[in-house]
Structure 1
Amino acid sequence: MRAMNAKFLLIAALIVLGCKDPDPIEDGQATAWGDQPALPAVQGEATFSLSASETSVSVMGNTLPRMPNFPALSAKKGVVRGYVADLSGKPLEGAYIGIRSTATGGYYSGASDETDAKGYYEIQVPWGTAEFYAAGYTIDYGEGRAVMSLYASDGKVGSFPSGDGLVKNFVLLSYGVFNKDLVSQRPNDPTNYAGGSLYITYNVSDPSSVYNPPSYIPENAEIQVMLTPDGPGLYGEQKKFVINKKASLQNYNFLIMNVPVGRYAISVRLKDGPPLHMEAVGRYAGVYPYFGLKLGEAIGTAKLLFTPDIGAENATTPPNRGKWGSIQIKVDVPE
């Protein structure tokens, strides 16, 4: 009996040695996903007023949600490894992480991995100075599928020496600033944010012109856009946003950015006035059957799903870079 027990122990030891244990700690035990902080509460209503000269607004500001708690990992020479999770701390399987190295002579050498059921990935780094070229994850969104960029939990995706190894964890965000330095340089760039965006365009009546079709927005009128959640967002967000924009000959458009990913009802009208006609136009109009403005043309109210960037794939989606295309909606006074 003692010999049989010893045999079973040996077999068990061999099985353990053959398994890929991604997260050993010093005493040989495996760490686990621990308790996670509560999800940020994104509820209520926020109102923004844009002057004639202002052309954009980030409805979630320049904030970033708190990060989940990741299992502890130590660096291994020549290896990049880490975990990918959603904001609640749930491991994400099938996330794509890509690394490339620049060797002498400027030649690139790449390697990649997809996360397992524990959200873990591990990549042998090609020799040279390395960087992350891709970090993407595909979600179910509406009736379709959409690729989203992953955020490095420490905010850093710069180059690193391949020989030292690196631990890098990534998070799937529904809103937030990817890089505050880039936002300060290009505040009107929607790809600096994790949330979705839309681009409202219009024509404004010119009092000095004899050509002013009745569909033009009167100068100094206020265009009011209301985004009302049509169910919980990616992480349960249910916040309503109201954006008032003063129409002026100074500009003919404005951007609404960093909207938490989810389904919305969009309503557009002149403030204290009639509903406006909406029409999806531009690069993303009608590209995908399930996303964008539904219907593509409406008066007053319509459904809205943000549109993934054209041709976006996990393997070509860079980290810390928004992959939602700005839905362009032209508004005018119904005739």
Structure 2
Amino acid sequence: MTRITDTSAVQPKIKVQLFYSYAMYHKLLVMAALLVAGCKDPDVVNGGEASNWGEQPTLPVVSGVATFSLNANEDYVSVMGTTTPRMPNFPALATKTGIVRGYVADLSGKPLQGAYIGIRSTATGGYYSGASAETDAKGYYEISIPWGAAEFYAAGYTIDYGEGRAVLSLSSADGKLGSFPSAAGLVKNFVLLSYGVYSKDILSQKPRDQTNYAGGTLYITYNVSDPSSVFNPPTYIPENAEIQVTLTPDGPGLYGETRTFVIQKRASLLNYGFQIMNIPVGRYTISTKLRNGPSLQMEAVGRYANLYPYFGLIPATASGTAKLLFTPDSRSGNETIPNRSNWGSLQIKVELPN
């Protein structure tokens, strides 16, 4: 006897299973094609929870001793040269219309939460409208761009520094900043640097401008004895004597830097000071002396002298050696200009002991 079975109840289930299998098969094909092309999963490319930072390059090694000699005509030196450290590897992001987004990381590739990113747009008439965001736990930010020609007005991150906190400017990972049309959207990643050049284009025009360097800055000032003058106090530096400034790290810097810097400058009536720029962010012991001669008296002077209790020359007046922390232009709030140093040029006057 032939048994007749009603199959109408199971047919929809079969169709669903076939559809599900086809969808899975299609997704596997898409992912395989992306892998062959060297791309990431679509969820990674589009940002969000699937963001994958991947393997990061090793940190640059900054160790040993570096010595610099400035002649009578030279009045500045960048102790880390004119290079910028290699950038970390960022997750891939696709551009979204009307959206600026990206990631913020430190030099090791660690995502930074709480970094502040601000943009502003202007249309005909010169009126600005702005928008901002802070990065999440994955270092990701996303901002709807106000209509008009847009630009970044702020990119900063606050770190613990010494006994206080300091705001550091962020560097664009590609070294470029400028206006862009709001409708097009943009992907822009930022990095927290401890030294390096922000823009070589600007540096070529203003090589002695400390704001072009991510590292800290000192300005050593002094008086020089003038043989033609009847006024030559015994504390003045003799002409042609060599002032020697030594910066010794008090432990590893922001990214493990341990390099000691020795700067020798020949005193001259041609100038009465010199800048030491682009010093890796950290805590230092500073010592000053005449080369092959006595130690020098140091005193913090200028606009940053005794401005903040935890930054600058400590103590503010010292003989031979003292502690040193760079002084930020602002102590709180992350609204600092991107690609421009937030460190002030700390002035230190040196003279012979009386």
The TM-score with structure 1 as length reference comes to 0.91
2:72 is matched with 52
User: 1 CA distance for matches of 2:233 and 2:108?
Assistant: 51
Q: In structure 2, which of residues 321, 327, 347 is the aligned counterpart of residue 301 of structure 1?
A: 321
Separation of aligned partners in 2, 1:206 and 1:200: 19
Give the counterpart of 1:82 among 66, 91, 102: 102
Residue 47 of structure 1 and its aligned partner are, at CA, apart by 0.4
- The residue correspondences of 1:1-16 to structure 2 (distance < 5 A) are none
> Do the aligned partners of residues 212 and 80 (structure 1) sit closer, same or farther apart at CA in structure 2, a change above 3 Å counting?
same
Tell me the CA shift for residue 313 of structure 1. 3.1
Native 8 Å contact 2:102 2:187 kept in 1? yes
CA gap 1:28/1:67 in 2 versus in 1, 3 angstroms:
closer
User: Would you say the 8 A contact 1:23–1:73 is kept in 2?
Assistant: no
C-alpha separation between the residues in 2 aligned to 1:282 and 1:45? 29
SS in 2 for 1:191: helix
* Contact 1:58–1:257 (CA under 8 A) maintained in structure 2: yes
- Residue 79 and residue 211 in structure 1: after superposition, are their counterparts in 2 closer, same or farther (change >3 A)? same
Task: Show the counterpart of 2:168.
Answer: 148
Is the CA contact 1:310–1:325 (under 8 Å) kept in the aligned structure 2?
no
CA distance in 1: counterparts of 2:268 and 2:72, whole angstroms: 6
1:96–1:114 contact (8 Å) kept in structure 2: yes
Q: Looking at CA atoms only, which structure, 1 or 2, has the larger radius of gyration?
A: 2
1:212 aligns with 2:235: no
**Map of 1:283 onto structure 2:** 303
Aligned to 1:124: 144
Structure 1 residue 210, shift from structure 2 partner: 1.2
Gap change, CA 1:268 and 1:23, over 3 Å in 2 = farther
One-letter amino acid of the structure 1 residue matched with residue 271 of structure 2: N
Q: Give the Å deviation of 1:333.
A: 0.2
Residue 184 (structure 1) shift: 1.2
Seen in structure 2, the aligned counterparts of structure 1 residues 26 and 257 have a Cα distance that, compared at 3 Å, is closer
Post-superposition Cα deviations, 1:249-284, rounded to whole Å, max 9, x if no partner, equal: 000000000000000000000000000000001100
Cα deviation, residue 147, structure 1: 0.4
CA contact (8 A) 2:166 2:330 kept: no
Is the 2:47–2:93 contact (alpha carbons within 8 Å) kept by the matching residues of 1? Answer: no
Structure 1 partner of 2:24: none
CA–CA separation in structure 2 for the residues paired with 1:198 and 1:146: 17
**TM-score (normalised: structure 2):** 0.86
| AA aligned opposite 1:105 | G
Q: Provide the residue aligned with 1:195 in structure 2.
A: 215
Q: Percent identity?
A: 74
Coordinate RMSD, CA, aligned: 1.5
Gapped regions of structure 1 (runs ≥ 5): 1-21
Q: 2:276 aligns with which of 239, 250, 256?
A: 256
Deviation string, structure 1 residues 161-195 (Cα, Å, up to 9, x no partner): 11011000000000000111111111111000000
Aligned with residue 119 of structure 2, among 79, 84, 99: 99
- Give the equivalent residue in structure 2 for 1:244: 264
Q: CA deviation at 1:24?
A: 3.7
Match of 1:230 in 2: 250
Shift of 1:31: 3.6
Go from structure 1 to structure 2 and tell me whether the alpha carbon gap of 1:64 and 1:189 turns closer, same or farther (over 3 Å shift).
same
Q: Are 2:324 and 1:323 equivalent residues in the alignment?
A: no
Q: Distance in 1 between matches of 2:47 and 2:351?
A: 67
> Which amino acid in 2 is paired with 1:155?
G
Structure 2 SS opposite 1:234: coil
Structure number with the higher strand fraction is: 1
Unpaired runs of 5+ in structure 2?
1-41
Whole-Å separation in 1 of the counterparts to 2:138 and 2:50: 12
Task: Indicate the SS of the match to 1:314.
Answer: coil
- Aligned residue number for residue 54 of structure 2: 34
Compared with structure 1, are the counterparts of its residues 161 and 277 closer, same or farther at alpha carbon in structure 2 (3 Å cutoff)?
same
Distance in 2 between residues matched to 1:155 and 1:305, nearest whole Å: 27
Amino acid at match of 1:101: S
How far apart, CA to CA, are the structure 2 residues paired with 1:274 and 1:106?
59
Equivalent-residue separation in structure 1 for 2:115 and 2:233 (angstroms): 51
Structure 1 residue 165 corresponds to structure 2 residue 185: yes
Count of residue correspondences: 313
